[in-house]
Amino acid sequence: MLELSAFELAGKIASGEVSAREAAEAASERVEAAEPEVHAMITPTPELALERAGRVDERRARGEELAPWEGVPIAVKDVLSTRGVRTTCGSRILENFEPVYEATALARLGEPVVVGKANMDEFAMGSSTENSAFGPTRNPWDLSRVPGGSSGGSAAAVAAGEGWWALGTDTGGSVRQPAALCGIVGLKPTYGRVSRYGLIAFASSLDQIGPMTRDVRDAALLLSAIAGHDPRDSTSASAEVPDYLAELDRGVEGLRVGIISEMMGEGIEPGVREVVERAARSLEEAGAEVGEAHLPHQEYALAAYYIIAPAEVSSNLARFDGVRYGMRVEAEGVHEMFRRTRGRGFGDEAKRRIMLGTYALSSGYYEAYYAQAQKVRTRIIEDFRAAFSRFDVLLSPTSPTVAFGLGEKVEDPLAMYAQDICSIPANLAGIPAISVPGGLSEGLPVGVQLMGNHFAEATLLRAARTVEEASGFRFEMRP
């Protein structure tokens, strides 16, 4: 059972061949076995999983029809609000915070069999999950290495079989980069495709919830479950949700694929580049037209991102002040209480970005930094528009390197930030992007990134499916 995909498991649960309870038990056993080494979870929730699975089985027994994703155990990044289950965002400041409501994406799953709240960089800021206040997660492929970040816990949980799939969030690559480093599929949908209600904001204009799965078909299935308009999120799109599964095996015949030149040069490990080139060839062999695409303003994307995201962070994190929930350090006077609570509650990376963002928004610097970064963002959107007038899908590495060693980049924030160099542009433009394993380099997985136009998830999934099949890479539980 542990080797099945989520799609296959859901089929067996629906037919009664496997009970949801059995699946939940198997997942919880895996959590128990793998956690001491991997530490993918901040809060394992075996009882909750069993209780919810029991309800799924009861409903089936009553003859109710189950949704095609129900009963499949899931790991949930600890940034998504879960009613009555502590939601920490990887931060001390929310160490004991229990939300009073459920995030829309989770509620859409019906009776989500949550096996645990997955580890993450504090408030989703980081590329290695080493910024978690609850200790780092390890890469199931090599326990001395990072799983990527900030959804590293979710990625590691899926790679280690602690859940059949997971939900992560992606602000600058946080679903795709850890998926690439852990050898799984990670999809960042179009901005607005999935409701952000209940997603504790990092950078509101960039954040998006995405599936992290064993294969592309699972990603299509999980996206079908969570996509769609939500009246509680004004920025969620009202566009109709297509049947992603139905379109999956249509192939790539005639699809125009552009390899982004600016993401294939300096800074990209040769082994990574090789895997991406191989993926391009396999698409060509499957009938796609492959050419060279350009994003001329790509070199400014990282800089713009590191102004816009911290600016929003500095505002989004202001609510954590010790007044209403979470941690409070008592002090004489309210401002001193704010100061001490935030001083003790936030980690270094959170503080660094709050400072950066506060500076970028302050009067006198706003024009030079924030306004300028927004102009760059507009240019990047125009770059994509031009590229999508020639190509249906753009191709690049997801991450410039394979998984690096724990502690290797902790002291060098700029080197850490460069990890997201290939993934950030999609967030700035709000377009969908997927990372699919394309093969190995130095024995470690390499992610291939495919980007599409707004709401072109179905096309992306088709192309990703082709790459996946040609790569010969198959999901295998680790360690």
Amino acid at 260: I
- Provide the H-helix boundaries in 207-333: 216-226, 244-247, 270-285, 301-316
The 214-243 contact track toward another protein, x by CB under 8 A, reads -----------------xxxxx--------
Helix 6-15 and helix 20-38: axis angle, to 10°?
A: 150
Q: How far is the CB of 147 from another protein (least distance, A)?
A: 24
Which residues face 167 on adjacent strands? 76, 211
- Selected from 89, 216, 272, 463, the binder of another protein by CB under 8 A is 89
**Which one of the listed residues 77, 117, 188, 409 is annotated catalytic?**
77
Q: How far is the CB of 327 from another protein (least distance, A)?
A: 13
- Selected from 42, 80, 393, 402, the binder of another protein by CB under 8 A is 80
SS (H, E, C) 401-449: CCCCECCCCCCCHHHHHHHHCCCHHHHHHCCCEEEEEEEEECCEEEEEE
12 to 71, 111, 243, 337: CA distances (angstroms): 10, 17, 21, 54
* Separation of CA 365 from chain center: 32
Q: Which is nearer to another protein, 426 or 463 (CB)?
A: 426
Q: How far is the CB of 362 from another protein (least distance, A)?
A: 5
- Selected from 315, 372, 378, 441, the binder of another protein by CB under 8 A is 315
- Selected from 63, 266, 324, 414, the binder of another protein by CB under 8 A is 324
Q: Which is nearer to another protein, 144 or 362 (CB)?
A: 362
The yes-or-no answer on residue 77 being catalytic is: yes
The 365-384 contact track toward another protein, x by CB under 8 A, reads -x---x--------------
Q: Which is nearer to another protein, 164 or 197 (CB)?
A: 197
Neighbours of 477 (CB within 10 A): 15
Q: Which H or E run includes 380? A: helix 372-390
The yes-or-no answer on residue 314 being catalytic is: no
Q: Which H or E run includes 394? A: strand 393-397
Question: With the C-alpha atoms ordered 311, 303, 145, 469, is the resulting torsion angle positive or negative?
Answer: positive
Q: Which is nearer to another protein, 265 or 333 (CB)?
A: 333
Q: Are 199 and 105 in contact (CB under 8 A)?
A: yes
- Which residue do the tokens 């800021």 mark? 125
Catalytic residues: 77, 150, 174
List residues near another protein by CB under 8 A: 80-81, 87, 89, 94, 97, 99-101, 103, 196-201, 203-205, 231-235, 311-312, 314-315, 317-321, 323-325, 334-335, 338, 358, 361-363, 366, 370
